[in-house]
Amino acid sequence: MYGIADSDIHKLQRLQNRSAKLVLNCRTFDSSKDAWFKLHWLPVKARITFKILTYMYNCSIENAPTYLTELLTEKHVVRSDLRSTAQESFILYDVPFNKNSTFSDRGFMTAAPKLWNGLLSIVKRSMSLDVFKKHLKTYYSSKWYDLF
């Protein structure tokens, strides 16, 4: 669902808003944002990227299916004497160039490395999947709740 039209995301978001209010037995005019916060839910767009990055974490620790890991190529750092590359002890991935950016950029092979490489290093260095999910959810909670 990564890269789908904003109009489709908006429809799903409205459904999630109604569901959150229904679960908490809120009134129609109560804030959806407050309901998400109480339920510890992420908005739809954040949830999509959350799932992709969870798969990427599993790929980085070699705990993912081979059909996913075969799609990824590790990025080889050319200059290791730079401060920015010396601090990075985690794996980065190459983002393939696609001529047809309409659909190719939405695939796991392109979208997942792009999201992974842009993620904070403290989140990538997590020791387990549960810790990674916790850090990632905290990161997205602070980022996405401010937008809505």
Rounded to 5, what percent of the chain is helix, strand, coil? 55, 0, 40
Alpha-carbon distance of 96 to 105, in angstroms, equals 9
Instruction: Please write the tens of the pLDDT for every residue from 13-26.
Output: 999 999 999 999 99
Q: Examine the pLDDT at 106 and tell me if it is beyond 80.
A: yes
Alpha-carbon distance of 139 to 132, in angstroms, equals 10
Alpha-carbon distance of 142 to 134, in angstroms, equals 12
Q: Tell me, what's the pLDDT at 97?
A: 81
Instruction: Please write the tens of the pLDDT for every residue from 124-140.
Output: 888 899 999 999 988 88
For residues 80 and 130, the model is more confident at: 130
- In sequence order, the β-bridge partners of residue 74 are 93
Burial of 132: CB neighbours in 10 Å, binned 0-12, 13-18, 19+: buried
Q: Examine the pLDDT at 119 and tell me if it is beyond 70.
A: yes
Alpha-carbon distance of 65 to 56, in angstroms, equals 11
Mean pLDDT of the chain: 84
| CA 35 from centre of chain | 21
Min mean pLDDT across 7-16, 45-54, 62-71, 91-100 is at: 91-100
Could you count the other beta carbons within 10 Å of the beta carbon of residue 96?
15
Q: Could you tell me the residue ranges of all domains in the chain? A: 42-144
